[in-house]
Amino acid sequence: MFLSRTYDGSVHDKKICDDQPLVLPKGINLWQDTGFLGHYPEGVNIRMPRKKPKGKELTKEQKQENREISSYRVLVEHAICGAKRCRIIKERLRCHKFEFNDLIMEIACGLHNFRITVKCAA
């Protein structure tokens, strides 16, 4: 799990990834969406959904692989949504202290992790 530093405004995820390259363990599966085309770290197995070729159809195996990838991707999207339940993440922040945005994001992610841990334990 990785949380990059926060960026002001609208910045593409691939640009953030290029600015802050990850050091990943060799041999892991890296689940990424099509927004990261061209990002191929060494020593990892990239799992990315396939796009339908123009004028053609995907094979049954490719469709099944896309469903499998999608089932992991939905978990990531739910985690992002869970952190954004803390409205301070979605709203414009007027406090401009150094790295305060990063601290707020870490707290929101921690609260989300606590929320799902307590929910699972009950």
**pLDDT tens readout for residues 26-84:** 888 888 888 888 888 888 888 888 888 899 999 999 999 999 888 888 888 888 888 88
Number of domains in the chain: 2
pLDDT for res 72: 85
Strands (E), 1-122: 29-31, 45-47
Q: Are residues 44 and 68 in the same domain?
A: no
R_g over Cα of the chain = 17
Which domain covers residue 21, as residue numbers? 1-48
Phi, psi of 30 (to 5 degrees): -105, 110
CB 11 within 8 A of CB 30: no
Task: For residue 22, name the pLDDT band (cuts at 50, 70, 90).
Answer: confident
Same-domain pairing of 41 and 94: no
Q: Is 92 helix (H, G, I), strand (E, B) or coil?
A: coil
- Do 44 and 69 fall into the same domain? no
CB 24 within 8 A of CB 30: yes
Q: Give the residue-averaged pLDDT of 18-27.
A: 81
* Per-residue pLDDT, 52: 87
Tokens of 67: 């469903």
Decide if 58 is inside a domain. no
Is 10 in the same domain as 40? yes
pLDDT digits (tens, 9 = 90+) for 72-121: 888 888 888 888 888 777 777 777 778 787 888 888 888 888 888 887 76
In a domain, 57, yes or no: no
Mean pLDDT over 3-19 rounds to 77
- Nearest Cα to Cα of residue 3 among 86, 115, 98, 107: 107
The pLDDT value recorded for residue 56 is 92
Residue 59 maps to a domain: no
Q: Helix 60-83 to helix 100-121 angle, to the nearest 10 degrees? A: 110
